[in-house]
Every structure is written in structure tokens, then in C-alpha cells.
């Protein structure tokens, strides 16, 4: 396993659509393990492959839940087959450090995917887990949470976003030291 370097706002890979995965081999298992390790090292609750520069449809989530163990999933080729309700909630993104804002998402979703071995996975999610999965599936389609904000809010965030694109990260948002290329 190795830590991968997280790509930041301004990197074209974050605006690209990831491709369906067709090979369930050892390199996919390695990618999934690296993504889980990287998510943990960056203290994230989710990570999509685009964020480490890999245009393949795989995401990982690890979300704390009330009165239940953390919800941990590795989802390959995920499809949201059902959405219900709407809910506004705050989101951030490992690729846009220091920026947080409210985003409207479906309240409940049903996701159909497979895991890194090709085994089917069905997830019924609501609340924070549903939000995290929708955020990560957006990444696979080349969409960032700031793309879902109003024009006014995006204008308000423009300076921060441009600074990140220039590689100027906020002091308290530096990547983990051991993170290297990927
Ligand atoms: Zn994100």
C-alpha cells in the first residue's frame, strides 16, 4: 500500500469523467487499498479516484454514523438508481482544502455498484452517508461541489479557489508529509 498525492482544484483531472472499470485484477485491489489509506491520512470521509489522478470509476467512503459503526464502502462503477427528498448540508473536499459551503443533495439514495473484487454491492443511504456518496459520484463525473453552488457564492469563493489552483494551500490544510506522487 502507498499513500497517493491528492490533486487540488485547478487540476484538469478533477474536471474529467472517469471510465467504467472492466478489469477486477490485483492492480484494482491495490488502487482500492491505496485510496482507503490516502483517505485516512488526509482525514477524509470519502475519496474518488479522480482525486488521486486516476480516471477510473471507483470511490471509497468512511462515514461516522449516529448509534452505529462507521459506514465504510468501496464502490466500483457506482450508479445512483434512486433518489428521494432534498436536504441542504455543509460540504468540504480534500481537493479544495479550507473551503466549506452548503450544498443541496437528495436525502435518501439507493446505489448499485460492485466492490473491487466484482461482487455486487447495494447501499441504501440517507443523511451524511447519502451526501458523501453523491459528492464522490459527482467527482467520477468531473463535478466538484463548488460547481453546484450559486454564481454569487462561487464569485465569493473565487479568490480562495484561485489560490488553491496556484498551489497556495491554507496553513492548516497542508497535505500529510509522507504523501508522494500518484
Ligand atoms: Zn471531494
What is the structure's pLDDT at 182?
Answer: 42
Catalytic option among 20, 87, 90, 136? 136
Span from the CA of 120 to the centroid of ligand 1 (angstroms)? 24
Span from the CA of 9 to the centroid of ligand 1 (angstroms)? 10
Q: How confident is the model at residue 178 (pLDDT cuts 50, 70, 90)?
A: low
Span from the CA of 31 to the centroid of ligand 1 (angstroms)? 18
What confidence tens digit (pLDDT) does each residue in 8-57 have?
A: 999 999 999 999 999 999 999 999 999 999 999 999 999 999 999 999 99
Q: Is 143 left (phi over 0), alpha (psi -120 to 50) or beta?
A: beta
User: Phi/psi at 26 (nearest 5 deg)?
Assistant: -65, -30
Domains with residue ranges and CATH for the chain? 12-167 (3.90.45.10)
- What letter does residue 172 receive in the DSSP assignment? G
Span from the CA of 111 to the centroid of ligand 1 (angstroms)? 18
C-alpha closest to that of 3 among 181, 173, 179: 179
C-alpha closest to that of 58 among 5, 7, 118: 118
Is 178 one of the catalytic residues? no
What confidence tens digit (pLDDT) does each residue in 51-106 have?
A: 999 999 999 999 998 888 999 999 999 999 999 999 999 999 999 999 999 999 99
Amino acid at each position: 500500500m502507498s499513500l497517493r498525492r491528492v490533486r487540488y482544484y485547478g487540476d484538469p483531472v478533477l474536471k474529467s469523467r472517469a471510465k467504467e472499470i472492466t478489469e477486477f485484477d490485483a492492480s484494482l485491489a491495490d488502487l482500492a487499498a491505496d485510496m482507503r489509506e490516502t483517505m485516512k491520512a488526509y482525514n477524509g470521509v470519502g475519496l474518488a479516484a479522480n482525486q488521486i489522478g486516476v480516471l477510473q470509476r471507483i470511490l471509497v467512503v468512511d462515514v461516522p454514523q449516529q448509534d452505529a459503526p462507521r459506514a465504510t464502502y468501496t464502490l466500483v462503477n457506482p450508479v445512483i438508481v434512486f433518489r428521494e427528498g432534498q436536504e441542504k448540508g455543509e460540504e468540504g473536499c480534500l481537493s479544495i482544502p479550507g473551503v466549506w459551503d452548503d450544498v443541496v443533495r437528495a436525502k435518501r439514495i439507493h446505489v448499485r455498484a460492485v466492490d473491487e473484487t466484482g461482487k455486487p454491492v447495494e447501499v441504501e443511504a440517507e443523511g451524511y452517508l447519502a451526501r458523501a456518496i453523491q459528492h464522490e459520484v459527482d467527482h467520477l463525473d468531473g463535478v466538484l461541489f463548488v460547481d453546484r453552488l450559486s454564481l454569487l457564492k462561487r464569485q465569493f469563493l473565487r479568490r480562495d479557489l484561485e489560490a488553491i489552483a496556484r498551489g497556495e494551500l491554507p496553513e492548516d490544510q497542508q497535505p500529510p508529509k509522507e504523501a508522494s506522487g500518484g
